[in-house]
Structure 1
């Protein structure tokens, strides 16, 4: 949870002082919800009777269409809620003030003291009346390139906001838009990096690891997973069905990996590469727990697919442990943040052997030594592995 904002004492003044504060005294605050909370407190201190306020921000995220920041009188911290993409099809959005603004309204103003039968019909207004609020206003807040967000204010003052209150609030909007855009774009950059390269790699990149060849040596358990017969599936299934299949398959595999502390570095067609850094003492055990949950998820997925006549999905997983080079590799202008090294090659070769040996999960002896007797492993035997001079002792995991 974000730390509550520090509120400096202020004396009643003009909205020009609030503009000055927004421009010059919020530079060190990373979180928009903290800035918004302090803004609302300062508005009250300057005589604008704000009782409730909210920001509705569109964001670019694979799971969420936006975020809603809501502040109420007496709150030291604003509430921050993510909003899913399907919200636009639900009653909470349809006909709401935010809906009106996004469809082109330059202002939504509602007198909450008058007879409800004479006003707008939506649950949001009923909820505000129930809390004793008397007046409500919502405005569009524009970021660059036409990006539209929404800001709202409400009061419980008898008679609602005065004209001077509305004027003071509206004059803050251009500066609030600039201040909020900086935070939203910073968060967007972080979100996009986390989405495409993973949380740990994104932190390194944001910290400055952007030069080709920059990187480090990391000791890690390496997991490579690949879907079987994908070429046949992609040749014979409709395109949208193939995409849905891949997404469902990756959901089944990826969620347990992330839940148990692994980092997915890349999706390669129908395969994935993940690492569990050994800086976490239980990394290898966590990898096997993730594999167990992923296998259960794949059983459930295959049962669901069988109901529509689809054949079960088969896959192979290769696991090894060792030192890898973790960093930037690529051309001068197009880089990939990934891991390379013999340990990665070994995991890849073991994944390839799963089909030959009829095992779903193959582990190297080096990895098996890390988990000891905590998991039941089946010794498969020693087998030559392409690219390595000596045969490798292999174990299967059926958990």
Structure 2
């Protein structure tokens, strides 16, 4: 009877799995791009694997029941069965081909963008997404990780005329127009990341030292979640962002309000030696993995921009003056007073009195200074170019990693 129970359990597990598949709430989000072929490929794989699972489950239940131990009955030894092996090989081959062929077709389309696709670069680092659009000339400036520093977060090549009007998005939110194909270029500053927008069905590794790419065409105006699908360190879970698919008018207005590389350089504030030392120490201690110093709102910690002065609301409903005593306490005892909207994830950092004072000196100079937008930068360029010269004249072939 025990054997019969095992057979019944196997049968119920198989049957329950089939029922769960049709009743589960864990389905794909509604697709928001042109990649229906990816969904079809996934469903074909699911159907093939599901059929194999059900058949094997039912056969196991039957075999357990039929071939249970009976006194005086012995199993027949059969060293090989050429016919059975041939049939299983053929069936397995057919199943693999059925699953593989649609994926190869989808992959070929996935990495061959149409000629009218515009370009968007996604630059990843622990644990943040940043974005870059080509400027009015439609050409990306050269960039390389060796140029990356706190004043040049994208690694823009100094002196490259093509990069001056590149539009830089340093926060985790980007907007793109609906019903327009986009070629996404991926770079990584540090480790392997994976840019994933589940509802778009878009996913690709960002590999240090090389540029990877794919394309898609968003077809539904909505906000899409951006995730990292590759374990990339302790704060991997917080490497999230948003992609807003909007109308062309809204996209154009938003894009013109963003800062260019030339504007970012022009808006850079010279630092005193003490403040520069504080910034270097903060970078060395890993502070900028969770906090920004330019107003970007990261999920892990408040920005340092304009942090000095004013008040802040805490998770317990109280407010605090953001004076030196509060900031020092937040650094040395980070769980004592948590800002509303954040969780107590920061660990205590060992700092000497001199290091702490240098960081405070740097925080004090972080005040809002508007940088030039894409429109302002384009106007400045047109006003300062000598007669007859144009920014569209190439002088050097731009490259990335």
Q: TM-score, normalised by structure 1?
A: 0.28
Q: TM-score, normalised by structure 2?
A: 0.28
Between structures 1 and 2, the one with greater strand share: 1
Relative contact order (C-alpha < 8 Å, sep 6+): which is higher?
A: 2
